[in-house]
Amino acid sequence: MSVRADWSLQSGLWAITRCAASALSLLPLLCALGCRTFPPLPAVNLSEPGWTVRTGQAVWRPKHETPEIAGDLLLATNPDGRRLVQFTKTPLALIIAQITTNSWQIESPAQGKRYSGPGQPPARVIWFQLSSLLAGAAPPEGWVKQTLGEERWRLENRATGEVLEGYLTQ
């Protein structure tokens, strides 16, 4: 191999290595942007004007193989489009779901988890659908709604085994 061909090959390999190193240096930045979550929504102040608050009891089973959890249920709605659902097993809030006109957030303080995003909340998360379902909306795909009495209802996803059954007072 001639010196010229050897130098050409080395400079070509050097260029490829430099491009790969540049691309790899951007990888953490791209991952960080792709995994970015929205900042936490502000706490809801239910004493502000406009909030309608209903409370009751519910039994929730997250999956087929998990035990049922009984707890207190709070559903608050505001005419401006904000909604709050809180499921509590005293003394811990197990689920806190919030919706605004342009974002959503769900927390599990007991597990130290929080998820949020822009726009409409994920339809598969029943906590976000609860206020609409109780107002008469059709359940999301995969969910079945049953009315068990004047104030009692049952929501079930037979594929996942998730069940939420309860009642709310006016």
The residue among 24 and 66 whose pLDDT is bigger is 66
| pTM for this model (two decimals) | 0.76
The full DSSP string for the chain is --HHHHHHHHHHHHHHHHHHHHHHHHHHHHHHHHT--PPPPPPP-TTSTT-EEEEEEEEEE-STTSPPEEEEEEEEE-TTS-EEEEEEETTEEEEEEEE-SSEEEEEETTTTEEEEEESSPPTT-HHHHHHHHHTTPPPPTTEEEEE-SSSEEEEEETTTTEEEEEEE--
Q: Give the pLDDT mean for 107-122.
A: 93
Q: What is the pLDDT of residues 3-57, one digit of tens each?
A: 454 544 444 444 433 433 333 344 343 333 344 567 889 899 999 999 999 999 9
pLDDT digits (tens, 9 = 90+) for 125-134: 999 999 999 9
